[in-house]
Amino acid sequence: MTPGEQHAYDAARFAEIVDSATPEDWERPCPVEAWTALDVVEHLVGWPRDFLRASAGVDLAPLDVAADPVAAWKTHTADMQGLFDDPAGRTVSNPHTGDMPLDVALSQIYTPDIWMHSWDLARALGRDFDLGDERASAMLAGVAAMEDAMRASGQFGPRIEVPTDATPQEQLLGFIGRDPFWRA
């Protein structure tokens, strides 16, 4: 898939989970320590907009996720897909990523975040979510090579040990600090 196609696919899968939530679901705990289901959506809407403003001069309107998570996700997805579909030669300039085309930067740091947090939101709502063994294996291989920097960022919890016969998804989740067997 192209970066835009991958984003559209992952954002649509996440939207299915968001759309299925009831108003009461938003306060449910999720596998990310001290976060609720609503926090997952707020995270995925908030940080990319802040990142783009600071690193690419792209100023997207703020969204009130708490007021209507479904509408906020829909608007946010459309905004982000527009950037994938027409990056207009924009460059992201950031000390952590260096200079790179906008759509490339988003496909490396934002789209995988949607994919991973889909599992978190699904679990918060009492559902399972299949990350896909092939993609989970590839992601694990990539992040394992930068474990020290990843852990130093503070964005990932300590590794959770999983059984030796764990699936690629369970291995990846344990590696990034999630209990792959977590239940609300």
User: Quick one: 124 and 53 in the same domain?
Assistant: yes
User: Quick one: 101 and 140 in the same domain?
Assistant: no
State the pTM of this model. 0.92
**Rounded Cα–Cα distance for residues 44 and 98 (Å):** 22
Among residues 96, 111, 129, the one where a domain terminates is 129
User: Quick one: 87 and 31 in the same domain?
Assistant: yes
pLDDT band at 94 (very low <50, low <70, confident <90, very high): confident
Q: Residue 14: exposed, middle, or buried by beta-carbon count in 10 A (0-12, 13-18, 19+)?
A: buried
User: Quick one: 51 and 91 in the same domain?
Assistant: yes
User: Quick one: 94 and 154 in the same domain?
Assistant: no
Residues 42-60 pLDDT 10s: 999 999 999 999 999 999 9
Both tokens of residue 109? 């740091």
Residues 103-134 pLDDT 10s: 999 999 899 999 999 999 999 999 999 999 99
Q: What percentage of the chain reaches a pLDDT higher than 90?
A: 81
User: Quick one: 50 and 14 in the same domain?
Assistant: yes
User: Quick one: 144 and 94 in the same domain?
Assistant: no
Residues 129-167 pLDDT 10s: 999 999 999 999 988 777 777 767 667 778 889 999 999
User: Quick one: 74 and 139 in the same domain?
Assistant: no
Q: Which domain holds residue 147?
A: 132-184
Both tokens of residue 164? 């030796």
